[in-house]
């Protein structure tokens, strides 16, 4: 069989990182990325990009922890290299504070982030309305630079990147041997997945360079995440809301909530409002499927539905998707050599 041709559909953090993992695990493959939108117009561009996992109720915790650990290790190495600033990856320390005791005493990811500990009484004085909190250091991706860095790495390894809207995965069967579906919320329409739904998130990206420490309130509805150039203030979680139009009332509400945690934000300038639709599901769809029409088959690997935590687990799920692509290629090579006998 000639070099297997793999198409990755989608150019958010999941599609680009999956394409990169495929080039690493299958150097003989010819990889193409097809997408109707690229940075800065994807959901991934709107995200805060903090490595604090979201919990997927339908996925075993040890699997989620493995995905997070692989992602953390990968980005930690980038943060510790000369590439860090171009890739937009940096360490950030801060606090997660609670008004009431959280459900779990220790989150499953507490031994993956760095220096996780209970906050001292002195630290808690900054948050008079909160009872307790955790302090730790984690990583943050500045999302548009990270997406551009991934695109640059893909181009350097010879990956072709084309603007194309795919209406049906089957339309790719004559051109590609394996298709990888990384279309995020686009999978609702593309594959009619009824388990996938949007959770709308509105955030503010502000200029407040004196804010260096992250603050996350409880389960993360209100947060302040400082990046390299701007601070992300959040947020909202609006299930089944498809609107991409910023809501001025929500902007004021987010700003007030964040100022009550960090009063100095009243001096923030150049407030930009962004909205994104989290591609949400009970569990990430990370599996193989074989499409078939009239005896012709097309192996597909799905990798979408990362909800509120795509950045936190992207490298782990990309590695698993690349492994599944490898299995599809082995099966195709097995059947083509059997056909020659
Ligand atoms: P997307 O970025 O939406 O990419 C999908 C790609 O598929 C796009 O390029 C699109 O154009 C393409 N596409 C779709 N349909 C088609 C089609 N038919 N044909 C061709 N191309 C198609 N996660 C974290 O881990 N940490 C955070 O701090 C964080 N903060 C967030 C804050 C907000 C406000 C939001 C909205 C999300 C946040 N997330 C965070 C979640 C994270 O953004 C998502 O999990 C992640 O971006 C999903 O990536 P994706 O590549 O699957 O989707």
Q: Can you give 27-45 as a three-state secondary structure string? A: CCCEEEEEECCCCCCCHHH
Residue range 279-317, pLDDT digits in tens: 999 999 999 999 999 999 999 999 999 999 999 999 999
Beta bridge partners of 216: 96, 223
Assess if residue 322 is contained within a domain: yes
For residue 338, the model assigns a pLDDT of 66
Please indicate whether residue 190, judged by its CB atom, sits closer than 6 Å to ligand 1.
Answer: yes
Percent of the chain having pLDDT more than 90? 93
Domain residues for 131?
A: 5-335
Assess if residue 247 is contained within a domain: yes
For residue 341, the model assigns a pLDDT of 58
d(CA 198, CA 178): 27
Residue 221 CB: number of other CB atoms within 10 A?
Answer: 13
Instruction: Decide: 180 and 18 in contact? Cβ < 8 Å.
Output: yes
For residue 220, the model assigns a pLDDT of 83
Residue range 62-71, pLDDT digits in tens: 999 999 999 9
For residue 337, the model assigns a pLDDT of 67
Please indicate whether residue 59, judged by its CB atom, sits closer than 6 Å to ligand 1.
Answer: no
For residue 334, the model assigns a pLDDT of 80
Assess if residue 340 is contained within a domain: no
d(CA 208, CA 224): 11
Packing angle, helices 13-25 and 143-156, rounded to 10 = 30
Atom of ligand 1 nearest to the CA of 11: 9
Please indicate whether residue 138, judged by its CB atom, sits closer than 6 Å to ligand 1.
Answer: no
Encoded tokens for 66: 């493995």
φ and ψ of 158, to 5 deg: 90, 10
Assess if residue 15 is contained within a domain: yes
Percent of the chain having pLDDT more than 70? 98
DSSP state of 152: H
Assess if residue 341 is contained within a domain: no
For residue 99, the model assigns a pLDDT of 94
Please indicate whether residue 316, judged by its CB atom, sits closer than 6 Å to ligand 1.
Answer: no
Element (H or E) spanning 244, and its range?
A: none
Encoded tokens for 203: 């955030």
Assess if residue 215 is contained within a domain: yes
Q: Where are the beta strands (DSSP E) in the chain?
A: 5-9, 30-35, 89-98, 114-118, 132-141, 160-163, 178-181, 197-207, 214-217, 222-226, 231-234, 238-239, 269-280, 285-293, 296-304
Encoded tokens for 327: 């299995």
Number of domains in the chain: 1
For residue 9, the model assigns a pLDDT of 98
Q: How far is the CA of 278 from the centre of ligand 1 (A)?
A: 6
Atom of ligand 1 nearest to the CA of 277: 36
d(CA 114, CA 140): 13
Burial class (CB in 10 A: 0-12, 13-18, 19+), 37: middle
Identify the residue whose C-alpha is closest to ligand 1 atom 21: 35
d(CA 168, CA 326): 23
Arithmetic mean of pLDDT over the chain? 96
d(CA 115, CA 46): 28
Please indicate whether residue 308, judged by its CB atom, sits closer than 6 Å to ligand 1.
Answer: yes
For residue 92, the model assigns a pLDDT of 98
d(CA 341, CA 157): 35
Distances (CA, A) of 136 to 139, 189, 215, 311: 10, 39, 11, 18
Please indicate whether residue 11, judged by its CB atom, sits closer than 6 Å to ligand 1.
Answer: yes
CA 171 to chain centre: 27
Q: How far is the CA of 184 from the centre of ligand 1 (A)?
A: 5
3 state SS for 85-107: HHHCEEEEEEEEEECCCCCCCCC
Residue found by looking up tokens 């909800």 in the block: 307
d(CA 228, CA 48): 12
Which parts of the chain sit beneath pLDDT 50? none
DSSP state of 119: P
User: Is residue 40 reached through a cis peptide bond, with omega within 30 degrees of 0 on the bond before it?
Assistant: yes
Residue range 73-117, pLDDT digits in tens: 999 999 999 999 999 999 999 999 999 988 788 999 999 999 999
**What does pTM read for this prediction?**
0.96
The CATH number of the domain where 300 resides is what?
3.40.50.720
Instruction: Decide: 143 and 106 in contact? Cβ < 8 Å.
Output: no
Please indicate whether residue 227, judged by its CB atom, sits closer than 6 Å to ligand 1.
Answer: no
Q: How far is the CA of 219 from the centre of ligand 1 (A)?
A: 21
């Amino acid at each position: 069989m000639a070099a297997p041709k793999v198409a990755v559909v989608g150019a958010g953090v999941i599609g680009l990182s999956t394409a990169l993992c495929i080039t690493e695990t299958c150097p003989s493959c010819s990889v193409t990325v097809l997408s109707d939108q690229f940075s800065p117009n994807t959901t991934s561009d709107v995200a805060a990009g903090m490595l604090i996992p979201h919990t997927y109720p339908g996925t075993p915790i040890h699997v989620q922890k493995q995905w997070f650990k692989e992602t953390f290790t990968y980005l930690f190495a980038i943060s510790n290299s000369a590439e860090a600033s171009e890739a937009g990856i940096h360490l950030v320390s801060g606090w997660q504070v609670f008004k009431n005791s959280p459900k779990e005493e220790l989150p499953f990811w507490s031994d993956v982030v760095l220096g996780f500990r209970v906050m001292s009484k002195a630290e808690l004085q900054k948050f008079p309305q909160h009872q307790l909190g955790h302090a730790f250091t984690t990583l943050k991706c500045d999302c548009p630079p990270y997406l551009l860095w991934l695109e640059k790495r893909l181009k350097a390894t010879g990956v072709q990147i084309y603007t194309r809207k795919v209406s049906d995965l089957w339309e790719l069967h004559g051109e590609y041997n394996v298709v990888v579906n990384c279309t995020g919320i686009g999978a609702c329409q593309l594959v009619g997945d009824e388990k996938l739904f949007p959770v709308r998130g509105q955030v503010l990206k502000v200029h407040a360079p004196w804010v260096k420490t992250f603050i996350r309130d409880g389960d993360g509805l209100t947060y302040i995440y400082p990046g390299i150039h701007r601070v992300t203030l959040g947020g909202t979680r609006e299930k089944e809301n498809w609107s991409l139009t910023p809501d001025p009332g929500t902007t004021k509400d987010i700003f007030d909530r964040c100022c009550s945690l960090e009063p100095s934000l009243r001096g923030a300038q150049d407030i930009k409002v962004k909205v994104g639709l989290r591609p949400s599901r009970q569990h990430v769809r990370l599996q193989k499927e074989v499409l078939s029409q009239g005896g012709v088959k097309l192996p597909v690997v799905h990798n979408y539905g990362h909800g509120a935590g795509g950045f936190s687990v992207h490298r782990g799920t990309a590695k698993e998707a690349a492994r599944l692509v490898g299995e599809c290629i082995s099966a195709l090579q097995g059947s083509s050599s059997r056909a020659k006998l």
